[in-house]
Amino acid sequence: MPPTRIIFIRSYWGLILVISGLLCGMCPLTWADSSSEHQKRLEARYGLERPEGNGPFPAVMMVPGCYGFAEPLSQDHYVKTIKDLKDQGFAVLKVDIFNARGRKNCGQVIPEEVTEDILTAARYLYRIF
């Protein structure tokens, strides 16, 4: 399989995860720790990129792979994907699920924490758009 096809497949599944997270964000979440301190730490690490113009814009949340946005082998991919999405008219919110918790990779977080952070990001997007 050509490398571009692998990236497309990974991006496709990531998009499904983001859409699922957005849909779940509409549901009440009683088990998640939505403390305002954690929310502030997470929001301080968001990177929101918007297309030119006044909007409103459809939004996409980008959640990094296991080693975060700064991982050398993936960093160019994130930058290119954000540019491509902006060129298509999307706002892109980078959700740094590791740094907000002081963690370095996906082996140090549990799925419930990732879900909580995605839902917090969905609520943030809802507030600003």
Q: Are 105 and 68 in contact (CB under 8 A)?
A: yes
Residuewise pLDDT in 10s, the chain (129 residues): 454 444 444 444 455 445 544 444 444 443 344 578 878 888 888 889 999 998 889 999 999 888 888 888 888 899 999 999 999 999 999 998 888 788 888 888 888 888 889 999 999 998 887
Domain boundaries, the chain: 3-128
